[in-house]
Structure 1
Amino acid sequence: MSSSVRNGVWRPEDRAASIYQYLPVEIDPGQHALRVELAYDRSAGVLDLGCLDPTGAFRGWSGGARDEFTIAETWSTPGYLPGPLPAGHWQVMLGLHRIPADGMPWQVTVSTSPEPGPAPEAAAPLAPWPERPARPGPPLPAPPGYRWLAGDLHAHSVHSDGSLTVSELARLAVSNGLDFLAVTDHNTVSHHPWLPDESGIVLLPGQEVTTTRGHANAYGDIGWVDFRLPAEEWLSIVDDRGGLMSINHPLAADMAWMHPLHGRPRLVEVWHSGWRDRTWGAPLSWLLAFDPDALPVGGSDFHSPSDGGPLGSPTTWVLCPVGDPREATVGVLLDALRTGPVAIGESPQGPALLRLGDELVAVGADGTLLTDFTGQRRRVIGDRVTFPAMPGPHWLEDERTQVLAIAG
């Protein structure tokens, strides 16, 4: 085993020159494991961590979630891609996310070994698949051969800054009444190989393309999207590879969307973790200003059960050409998200507002108000009520004007 140590001080002028900095790492022939350890004062700022191989190809990213990683031929730290270690000049990527005015001292220790070393111990056996709870009240109306599927389009696993494995996430999603779940770890696709092995739920491959100027989800098994590129190129790459992109939590505190973007993605994550008070009209007004023809979707941005917000809150409802949720596939879901209709609700058990042709159907929403961008409000009386639909989004609100459901 060989090791080397690099250290220095990142200063605000370094961040001004480039948020991303690169440390060259030489790997000799015959090495089968690479370990990188980053040390700095986390109370003073935030440094992100990642890795590129000698060709410039992506080998992993953990952002600020980890201070160390290992890449070996047969295993790797979550967030990183296992496989052969070609000899040559590798690069440790450092993201200068937050740098104090007086600078950030840092140290990087790099070790290589001709032995891959033992993989981490396997986790304890998982519990059996839970039963999916039935939705209360009247069934959701759908055309013959179609069904509304409930899902969450934004969740994180241990492959970025989440606390659950993919398998644990999948079981939690089923127990919460979901039919599909998008696993959208930050700036990595290392979780994708773990998705197809699950049963009981459709796991949609995703990547949350994450920068200091905003986040976007890239859906589909489309490979890695380079977060260092302009957002306009993210959209082109995702479209060219047959995926779908959404702008995430566009008004969420320091993660608000600030990228220039001439094109418009099909999806916009209007209902998100940053919408803490749903009497606020800002997310819906942003949708109207940005692109009223975009399909509004929801995502919980779930990281951990201890965070408070449950997986599947909000729920995105997608009308799919299946008679049973077990018939759904990733391709079916992507096609349905492209064409719509799509709806959002508080949970799989909560009120639903569904667009079917030129009609809107409110289900489980007795006593609410149907509202649209014209300011028109119509009273919902009954557990299943049909209204004529106008173009554009509509939503259900309660007596406090809190949004309960949205139909795109």
Structure 2
Amino acid sequence: MHQTETRTVRGTLPTGSPDFVYVPVEVPEGTREIKVSYTYDRPAVPAGTAGNALDIGLFDERGTELGGRGFRGWSGGARTEFFVRADDATPGYLPGTIEAGTWQIALGPYTVAPQGLSYELTITLTYGEQAAAPDPGYPPERAKGRGRAWYRGDCHLHSWHSDGRRTPAEIAALARAAGLDFINSSDHNTHTSHAHWADAAGDDLLVMLGEEITTRNGHVLALGTDPGTFVDWRYRARDNRFGRFARQIRRSGGLVVPAHPHATCVGCNWKFGFGEADAIEVWNGPYTPDDEVALADWDSMLVASVRDGGAWIPAMGNSDAHRDPDPVGSPQTVVLAEDLTREAIQEGIKAGRSYVAESKNVSLAFTASGGQGGHAGIGGRLAVAPDTPVTVRLEVSGAPRCTVRFVTDQGVRFTGAPLPVAGSGVVEWRTTPANAAYVRAELRHETAAGPVPGALAAFTNPVFLGRTAPVAIDHDRERG
């Protein structure tokens, strides 16, 4: 029986508290386990006033400096207790040797009621010999692909390592059932799931590793980083620190993808700008009005890119699935890649060779042709003179009674008749580069609200028309 010692710490945080408050814990030699549980009060508040919400995490003796050298875990508000040992830890926390010194319990007062936030921490130290720390194993960076082909993926998924309720194995099973070829792990503010995906991957499923960096001024996906990469989240837009961590994501082999930029939850609205973005998550989970705003905002960015001749930022869509009944793979991003590898999928996403579909049932083929046999696909450019006739063609399957819309820098320029109940059809439209600097396609469901467009069933990245057109943004090339 191991000897234990329990301590209790109480405190009150007023409104206007710092984003993060650190409570020191002296950890003596011979400690084999640290366990923390906590409670806090939730007083009644007037309608429209934020109540109390308190997040929690842990940093070890290496400190709490920005960058996360001492990071040992974060559960946000998803758990009321956690433990850390050399050989094991609560999901969201890192196992590893318990070194003596001053550790810090990180408290994140997400919202504080007018009455203040009173909390109580119960800290239990268990003494004795430490077990051996495990050697992490990671999923391979390659699955058995089909060569150059369209691959389906969902890059925004939460496991029980943050506020999800599914294990990596359960998520992988749902991904396979949803027809996905690749996924990306993206737990909030922790990378601890990275070492738990190896058994879930396989020849038929590429598992990329990442994180959802959840700041108080918006969320961003680190998509496909090197195994074991942790990205700090403890800053706001006014701190001018996001660029540092965006560069860290790219140095670690990942993509920077702002998530649900117009979401209405507290702290979810994206305020860092898009200068560091490799892509934008325009569609997040079930299609809602904030996705419609994100789509319109992204389209305005496309207009600015063709007007100014600057780089353009591709769009993608992900499920953000957390727990039952959240469907994995709805929506999903369908990427034209050279093979089913981390690098090839990322290159396809960065180049905009992709479309977004609500499920595996929906398939699109979108092209523009004109001139002397010229041809371009999604994310490409048809380099013809301004007055050259161009034929835009969309082939659809799996979208019963959906309506096709073609959108250009001048707005919606074509709306077709609803597709048949069978859900398949071919729609063509003719234009010129002088009238359309780009064309992108949308599939919309039926709506009973008159002129209001229905929810998306799918949409594509653009095909650019003309001899000069923006290129997809490439931050690595810009720095070179």
Equivalent position amino acid for 1:228 in 2: R
CA distance in 2 between counterparts of 1:247 and 1:165 reads 25
Matched residue count:
373
Deviation digits for residues 231-287 of structure 1 (CA, Å, limit 9, x no counterpart) = 333322212222101111111112443423362301101011374259x74122111
Matched, 1:407 2:460: yes
SS in 2 for 1:191: helix
Matched, 1:158 2:160: yes
Which of 285, 295, 316 matches 1:284?
Answer: 295
Offset at residue 202 of structure 1 (A) = 1.2
* Aligned residue number for residue 207 of structure 1: 211
* Aligned residue number for residue 197 of structure 2: 195
Q: Judging changes above 3 Å, is the alpha-carbon distance between structure 1 residues 78 and 396 closer, same or farther for their aligned structure 2 residues?
A: same
Offset at residue 105 of structure 1 (A) = 1.0
Identity of counterpart residues, as a percentage?
30
Which of 236, 239, 242 matches 2:247?
Answer: 236
Matched, 1:397 2:444: yes
* Aligned residue number for residue 224 of structure 1: 230
CA distance in 1 between counterparts of 2:358 and 2:195 reads 30
SS in 2 for 1:253: coil
Offset at residue 86 of structure 1 (A) = 1.3
Equivalent position amino acid for 2:190 in 1: T
* Aligned residue number for residue 425 of structure 2: 383
* Aligned residue number for residue 272 of structure 1: 284
Contact 2:225 2:255 in 1 (8 A): no
CA distance in 2 between counterparts of 1:34 and 1:116 reads 13
CA distance in 1 between counterparts of 2:264 and 2:439 reads 27
Equivalent position amino acid for 1:296 in 2: A
* Aligned residue number for residue 28 of structure 1: 28
Q: Judging changes above 3 Å, is the alpha-carbon distance between structure 1 residues 163 and 91 closer, same or farther for their aligned structure 2 residues?
A: same
Equivalent position amino acid for 1:74 in 2: D
Equivalent position amino acid for 2:222 in 1: A
Equivalent position amino acid for 1:4 in 2: R
Aligned counterparts, 1:67-146, within 5 A: 67-115=80-128, 145-146=147-148
* Aligned residue number for residue 256 of structure 2: 245
SS in 1 for 2:350: helix
Offset at residue 148 of structure 1 (A) = 0.8
Deviation digits for residues 135-170 of structure 1 (CA, Å, limit 9, x no counterpart) = xxxxxxxxx941111111111000001111001110
Q: Judging changes above 3 Å, is the alpha-carbon distance between structure 1 residues 25 and 291 closer, same or farther for their aligned structure 2 residues?
A: farther
TM-score normalised by structure 2 residue count: 0.72
Q: Judging changes above 3 Å, is the alpha-carbon distance between structure 1 residues 276 and 117 closer, same or farther for their aligned structure 2 residues?
A: farther
CA distance in 2 between counterparts of 1:103 and 1:392 reads 53
Which of 5, 8, 11 matches 1:8?
Answer: 11
* Aligned residue number for residue 362 of structure 1: 395
TM-score normalised by structure 1 residue count: 0.84
SS in 2 for 1:288: helix
* Aligned residue number for residue 372 of structure 1: 407
Q: Judging changes above 3 Å, is the alpha-carbon distance between structure 1 residues 396 and 161 closer, same or farther for their aligned structure 2 residues?
A: same
Deviation digits for residues 328-385 of structure 1 (CA, Å, limit 9, x no counterpart) = 2323322322223011011111253546244654321576223214221153776355
Which of 291, 296, 318 matches 2:335?
Answer: 318
Contact 1:72 1:84 in 2 (8 A): yes
Contact 1:9 1:104 in 2 (8 A): yes
Query: Mean alpha-carbon deviation: is it higher for 391-400 or for 201-210?
Result: 391-400
Q: Judging changes above 3 Å, is the alpha-carbon distance between structure 1 residues 291 and 35 closer, same or farther for their aligned structure 2 residues?
A: farther
Contact 2:314 2:351 in 1 (8 A): no
Q: Judging changes above 3 Å, is the alpha-carbon distance between structure 1 residues 206 and 9 closer, same or farther for their aligned structure 2 residues?
A: same
CA distance in 2 between counterparts of 1:40 and 1:320 reads 49
> Structure 2: which 5+ runs fail to align?
44-50, 64-69, 132-145, 236-240, 304-311, 368-376, 383-391, 431-435, 448-452, 462-480
Equivalent position amino acid for 1:320 in 2: A
CA distance in 2 between counterparts of 1:196 and 1:339 reads 28
Offset at residue 82 of structure 1 (A) = 0.3
CA distance in 2 between counterparts of 1:281 and 1:371 reads 16
Contact 1:361 1:385 in 2 (8 A): yes
SS in 2 for 1:376: strand
Equivalent position amino acid for 2:231 in 1: V
Offset at residue 68 of structure 1 (A) = 0.9
* Aligned residue number for residue 52 of structure 2: 45
* Aligned residue number for residue 346 of structure 2: 334
Equivalent position amino acid for 1:111 in 2: T
Contact 1:166 1:195 in 2 (8 A): yes
Offset at residue 41 of structure 1 (A) = 2.7
Report the RMSD for the aligned CA atoms in angstroms.
2.6
Contact 2:28 2:101 in 1 (8 A): yes
Query: Mean alpha-carbon deviation: is it higher for 268-277 or for 336-345?
Result: 268-277
Equivalent position amino acid for 1:146 in 2: R
Equivalent position amino acid for 1:245 in 2: V
Equivalent position amino acid for 1:24 in 2: P
Deviation digits for residues 148-206 of structure 1 (CA, Å, limit 9, x no counterpart) = 11111111000001111001110011112111111210000000011233224111212
Equivalent position amino acid for 2:250 in 1: D
CA distance in 1 between counterparts of 2:445 and 2:7 reads 62
* Aligned residue number for residue 473 of structure 2: none
Query: Mean alpha-carbon deviation: is it higher for 357-366 or for 259-268?
Result: 357-366
Equivalent position amino acid for 1:336 in 2: G
Contact 2:6 2:124 in 1 (8 A): yes
Deviation digits for residues 31-54 of structure 1 (CA, Å, limit 9, x no counterpart) = 121111111135652100111111
CA distance in 2 between counterparts of 1:234 and 1:103 reads 32
CA distance in 1 between counterparts of 2:428 and 2:268 reads 36
Contact 2:150 2:337 in 1 (8 A): yes
Q: Judging changes above 3 Å, is the alpha-carbon distance between structure 1 residues 72 and 392 closer, same or farther for their aligned structure 2 residues?
A: farther
Matched, 1:299 2:314: no
Contact 2:218 2:272 in 1 (8 A): no
SS in 2 for 1:237: helix
CA distance in 2 between counterparts of 1:99 and 1:90 reads 25
SS in 1 for 2:349: helix
